[in-house]
Amino acid sequence: MRMYDVIAKKRNGEILREEEIRFMIEGYVKGDIPDYQMSAMLMAIYLKGMSDEETAILTDAVAHSGDMVDLSQIEGIKVDKHSTGGVGDKTTLVVAPIVSACGVKVAKMSGRGLGHTGGTVDKMEAIPGMRTTLTEEEFFSVVNATGLSVIGQSGNLAPADKKLYALRDVTATVDSIPLIAASIMSKKLAAGNDCILLDVKTGSGAFMKTLEDSITLAEKMVAIGEHSGKKTMALITNMDIPLGSLIGNSLEVIEAVETLQGKGPEDLTEVCLSLAAGMLFLAGKGSLEECRKLAEKTIEDRSALMKLAAMVEAQGGDPAVIKDPSLFVRAPFEKEVKALKSGYITHMNTEQCGIASSLLGAGRITKESQIDYTAGIALKKKVGQKVEEGETIALLYASKRDLFADAEEELLKAVAIGGQKPDQGPLIYARVTGAGVERLV
């Protein structure tokens, strides 16, 4: 078989056979197929798409390119969660402790920040001493002892995805539905959980900017999960506005803790409770309404907060900062961003908000960049709120004053102010299961 012919076939819009898809993934991981040929194939897939069957085979080939984790040493049903990526998305730090406080084990592998989006592993590393690389034995023993563990992806989990993702990032082929579905679901299948709850973000801060594309992506991922014998559900959630008020690594841990204390922002609390209810439902804990009540109770009685502290301690982190988040080291410098005119905030380009946070040091500008855990943004006003000219709309935090100018410019570009109070978009648009799409608005 020649890669040239497989590329030409996809370029012509034909359906690839199973052996062709497996040949290209195996050859690419081994180094027999060079980046320039795989780049051409990715662009052909981007432009011509893939059938559901091709996407399922691609997912399976990528999942089997490395280790398939066996979680059988952890007793009970294990539920995974995955967000397609957003700004201010600290939901894993809230949802995993809630689900585990309800008696369902969470053994989760998370990622680092990608582009303008933040990553759970980077946020966890903002906790002093916290280890996110554990051996398999340590991982299992933390889950068995505390009920949950969140770590970085092990080195050999879906290595084909690592190579493909890096290539997509530089060949303008990231936002392709079959490629995103295969990338996410290959890692979920390799991670070995019984059930998968997908948080598919939609809007200006998400990879999928429109609701219809987000629903299509969710349907494809749910079909792949169900086909592989995993109970899978997706919620389509709003990423047209940053989630919560804090963006940046230690800032987001602080907001996650406040949410577990019952003092979190309404939007973040609502999305977290819905995600947690979905995970508990998949694990067989009752109806969605019953699961929602179970989740709420773990915030009221602080059992979820205790779970987070227990996981942090078991992974070498300092639980004191979870009990008292004011102990987090703060950025040495802060700057107020003021409204340029009076009116209502009508829109926040959420991708630009994420870029502004990265410019302050909270994300990586290049692959080699070191993250500044203290850097980030505290939003003082969000969409729908009234502002007066000169009023503070956000506080920027950084370790160097000269980072403020570019970040402030980016944030001001992101915030639109107009005369009319805008309608607030819904937080959760739809639920997607094997049975179909249930629109919630």
Catalytic (active-site) positions: 82, 161, 168, 183, 187
- Label residues 119-152 b or e (16+ Cβ within 10 Å = b): bbbbbbbbbbebbbebeeebbbbbbeebbbbbbb
Q: How far is the CB of 168 from ligand URA (least distance, A)?
A: 7
Q: Which is nearer to ligand URA, 130 or 180 (CB)?
A: 180
In the complex, residue closest to ligand URA by CB: 183
Residue 190's contacts (CB-CB under 8 Å, 6 or more residues apart) are: 63, 64, 66, 67, 68, 69, 157, 158
Q: Which is nearer to ligand URA, 26 or 175 (CB)?
A: 175
Helix/strand number for the chain, H first, E second: 17, 14
Rg of the chain in Å (alpha carbons): 21
Q: Which is nearer to ligand URA, 115 or 384 (CB)?
A: 115
Residue 69's contacts (CB-CB under 8 Å, 6 or more residues apart) are: 136, 154, 157, 190, 191, 192
Kindly state whether residue 85 participates in binding ligand URA, applying the rule CB under 6 A.
yes
Q: Which is nearer to ligand URA, 89 or 194 (CB)?
A: 89
What is the distance between the alpha carbons of residues 139 and 122, in angstroms, rounded to a whole number? 18
Kindly state whether residue 214 participates in binding ligand URA, applying the rule CB under 6 A.
no
Q: Which is nearer to ligand URA, 180 or 211 (CB)?
A: 180
x/- track of binding to ligand URA for residues 255-284 (CB under 6 A) = ------------------------------
Q: How far is the CB of 21 from ligand URA (least distance, A)?
A: 17
What is the distance between the alpha carbons of residues 264 and 97, in angstroms, rounded to a whole number? 15
Q: How far is the CB of 356 from ligand URA (least distance, A)?
A: 21
Size of the site for ligand URA (CB under 6 A): 6
What is the distance between the alpha carbons of residues 131 and 317, in angstroms, rounded to a whole number? 7
Task: Report whether 288 contacts 431 (CB < 8 A).
Answer: no
What is the distance between the alpha carbons of residues 27 and 32, in angstroms, rounded to a whole number? 5
What is the distance between the alpha carbons of residues 232 and 241, in angstroms, rounded to a whole number? 26
x/- track of binding to ligand URA for residues 40-79 (CB under 6 A) = ----------------------------------------
Among 84, 110, 237, 358, binds ligand URA (CB under 6 A): 84
Three-state DSSP string of 81-139? EEECCCCCCCHHHHHHHHHHHCCCEEEEEECCCECCECCHHHHHCCCCCCCCCCCHHHH
Q: How far is the CB of 268 from ligand URA (least distance, A)?
A: 20
- DSSP code, position 401: G
Question: Which residue, 184, 179, 182, 178, is CA-closest to 199?
Answer: 184
Kindly state whether residue 236 participates in binding ligand URA, applying the rule CB under 6 A.
no
What is the distance between the alpha carbons of residues 132 and 154, in angstroms, rounded to a whole number? 10
Give the residues across from 198 on adjacent strands.
82, 234
Kindly state whether residue 183 participates in binding ligand URA, applying the rule CB under 6 A.
yes
User: Element (H or E) spanning 165, and its range?
Assistant: helix 159-170
Q: Which is nearer to ligand URA, 184 or 308 (CB)?
A: 184
Q: How far is the CB of 266 from ligand URA (least distance, A)?
A: 27
Q: Which is nearer to ligand URA, 153 or 245 (CB)?
A: 153
Q: How far is the CB of 117 from ligand URA (least distance, A)?
A: 8
Among 23, 28, 139, 207, binds ligand URA (CB under 6 A): 207
- Label residues 203-213 b or e (16+ Cβ within 10 Å = b): bbbbbbbebeb
Between the CA of residue 141 and those of 79, 147, 149, 155, 318, what are the distances in Å? Answer: 17, 9, 9, 19, 19
Q: Which is nearer to ligand URA, 50 or 306 (CB)?
A: 50
What value, to the nearest 5°, has the Cα angle with vertex 253 and ends 232 and 409? 100
List the interface residues with ligand URA, window 348-407 (CB under 6 A): none
Kindly state whether residue 184 participates in binding ligand URA, applying the rule CB under 6 A.
yes
Q: Which is nearer to ligand URA, 199 or 408 (CB)?
A: 199
Q: How far is the CB of 321 from ligand URA (least distance, A)?
A: 28
- DSSP code, position 367: T
List the interface residues with ligand URA, window 143-182 (CB under 6 A): 180
Q: How far is the CB of 346 from ligand URA (least distance, A)?
A: 28
Give me the residues that bind ligand URA (CB under 6 A), please. 84-85, 180, 183-184, 207
